[in-house]
Chains A and B, each alone.
Chain A
Amino acid sequence: MNIRTTTLALAVAGGLLATAPARADEALAKKHNCLACHQIDKKSVGPAYKEIAKKYKGQAGIEAKLADKVKKGGSGVWGPVPMAPNAAVSDADLKTLVAWILKM
């Protein structure tokens, strides 16, 4: 499975220190079904998380914007495919997830 390989790749790329928290965040993403549509470094139904990080890295206030987008869902930034709303995800989890993505 892809997820397994990704974890491995992350572990190697991030070095030992980064591994444990990255794993925890990835588990959170998995729990909230983000990985049904996203992969770390490959376009799937949604854009690759690494591409998202590349696009927004360093922009002020971007965390809140993205968290809001993820919560409400929407389309048009990366193409015609919409992200389904993720209304059930808590704000705290959203914050963690967005921060995790932007760190990539």
Chain B
Amino acid sequence: MKRQARRTLARALGLAALPFALSAALAQPTQPGRAPVTEPEIRYQAGGSPLAQEDMHQNIDPKAPPMTKAEFDKGRQIYFERCAGCHGVLRKGATGKPLTPDITMAKGTEILKVFIKYGSPAGMPNWGTSGEMTDAEVDLMARYIQQVPPVPPEFGMPQMKSTWKVVIAPEKRPTKKMNNYNIENIFSTTLRDTGEVALIDGDTKKIINIVKTGYAVHISRLSASGRYLYVIGRDAKINLIDLWMEKPDNVAEIRVGLEARSVDTSKYKGYQDKYAIAGSYWPPQYTIMKGDTLEPLKIMATRGMTVGDQEYHPEPRVAAIVASHFKPEFVVNIKETGKVLMVNYADINNLNVTEIEAAKYLHDGGFDVTKRYFLVAANQSNKVAVIDVKEGKLVKLVDVDKIPHPGRGANFTHPRFGTVWATGHLGSEKIALIGTDPKKKDTAWKVVQYLDGQGGGNLFIKTHPKSKNLWVDTPLNPDAKIAQSIAVYDISNLDKKPETLPIADWANLGEGAKRVVQPEYNKAGDEVWFAVWSAKNQQSALVVVDDKTKKLKAVIKDPRIITPTGHFNVYNTTHDIY
């Protein structure tokens, strides 16, 4: 049967462990009229949280339906693996509605079961009818969400200090580059399920080292000098890698919480390599650290009032963070409150934070070509907020299509509209091009053109100042053919349809579900790298394409390359070239 086949596929992919989510994802709508929420959104939002493994305090409410401790623990695990991404750790609601006991107990077990089993057209996945959950599990979850939400532990300075380790102290490190690698062209590739990054020599395409990291590294970032590489796992573990060592390797590590997504480093003149900052999902906070040791110096909570309705939110997660080139400031984006914080690190004991009101729920974003403006997706509002990092002000909220997901976006010069910044969407197939030249009154901070992509489920979009191509992936699209290929647009003629390249076929990996993720340029801007991400027990690969000819240049295969989900080129990441 169809449903059976999907389940098998889900298992084969080990979906419960996928980053952007899970099998709900693969579950096709079984009811007509389920259109409003697209599968890619569900895939993205329903990602598992590392909190599933944490022990938590639990209050017992005598009015809630009874559960044994074993049932409660199972419910908690399922909740954090499948529901928390949309309904929040404390069940106060985000993409999904609040599920606090006052609301759930008023509905009662039977009604809750119907929602969980059959889903709803407004975006609740159909966990029962998709085959993801048995009737017994549906019943368990209906009772679980009537209990008082268990609260995960806080993670302050003592906890951070206890996880902080300096493997090689700064004075024992090399004083100059000790290897012959062209370190500006190294790629840091996330190996998701093994909890590692592969450092790959972009010139020779050989693996330099595989470094043990946190689980499912979300991003890699570079210090301003390009010497230090910072990677952060979903479990909030940060590793600091010194690229000057004979064999570049880990020199320090720390955990800054229980779940996290973002890290960056001070880039302003005079502060190069001085500070690092990381943002956590749980606890909701950001942490400023010493750049060369990760010693935690300052922790700031993000709990507080939301933009607009000004209501208290107990868990505003920290989304993207970038470093200003104009001031000694980090740009910290808070998801649930919809605020952008300009955190000035000139004096961290007397920290100056400018709070900019944007819109809910801030997610990821990137600079325009001048690096003066930061464009960040507010994905539930279907807007892109434009922040002037020089003035510390909101410039504009730009309406875009459904659930923008820019990654860092892509900058290029449009033949008719001048400089633009581009974003794809999780909720639609469109690519929005936003004018970024403030002198052009007609086009500045407006969508000047929408391109039609292959389909929804786009995560990353990329070009390079030396290139005439715009590369768009669609790894979360339910159609395998689309998830396994890439669309390339000709920037000099954007009215022309894109070419599609069957990148996964080029990797020649045989059977198995795979997705093509995250185009990334080499330093010279003449090669584009892709991750072809298969299940943990299947072969994956990296595919390198010649930017000019759009022909296959190399396939990197190695038994150690397991579940690659993305990569960052040292030079382009250091200099925010995208």
A residues lining the B interface (CB < 8 Å)? 33, 36-37, 42-45, 79-85
Contacts and interface: CB of A to CB of B under 8 A. Distances in A.
Interface of B: 30-33, 106-108, 110-111, 113-115, 118, 120-122, 129
B108 A80 contact: no
A36 B129 CA distance: 19
A45 B120 contact: yes
A83 B113 CA distance: 11
Of B114, B115, B122, the most chain A CB neighbours within 10 A belong to B114
Contacts of B110: 84-85
Contact of B118 (A33, A42, A43, A45): A45
Contacts of B33: 43
B111 A84 contact: yes
Contacts of A42: 121
Contact of B121 (A33, A44, A84): A44
Please provide the 6 A-B residue pairs with the shortest distance between their CB atoms, ordered closest to farther. A84-B110, A81-B118, A43-B33, A45-B120, A36-B111, A36-B107
Nearest to B118: A81
B489 to A, nearest CB: 37
A84 B31 contact: no
Contacts of A43: 33, 121
A45 B30 contact: no
B504 to A, nearest CB: 35
Of B32, B106, B108, B120, the most chain A CB neighbours within 10 A belong to B120
Given A42-B121, A44-B120, 16 more contacts: A33-B106, A36-B111, A37-B114, A43-B33, A43-B121, A44-B121, A45-B115, A45-B120, A45-B121, A79-B32, A80-B31, A81-B31, A82-B114, A84-B110, A84-B114, A85-B110
A81 B114 contact: yes
29 contacts: A33-B106, A33-B107, A33-B108, A33-B111, A36-B111, A36-B115, A37-B111, A37-B114, A42-B121, A43-B33, A44-B120, A44-B121, A44-B122, A45-B114, A45-B115, A45-B118, A45-B120, A45-B121, A80-B31, A80-B118, A80-B129, A81-B31, A82-B114, A83-B114, A84-B110, A84-B111, A84-B113, A84-B114, A85-B110
- The interface residues of chain A, by DSSP majority, are classed as loop
A84 B107 CA distance: 11
Nearest to B106: A33
Contacts of A80: 30-31, 118, 129
A80 B30 CA distance: 9
B121 A79 contact: no
Contacts of A82: 114
B114 to A, nearest CB: 6
Nearest to A81: B118
Nearest to A45: B120
B112 to A, nearest CB: 9
Nearest to B107: A36
A81 B30 CA distance: 10
A83 B108 CA distance: 13
Of A33, A36, A37, A44, the most chain B CB neighbours within 10 A belong to A36
Nearest to A31: B106
Contacts of A81: 31, 114, 118
A52 to B, nearest CB: 15
Nearest to B110: A84
A75 to B, nearest CB: 10
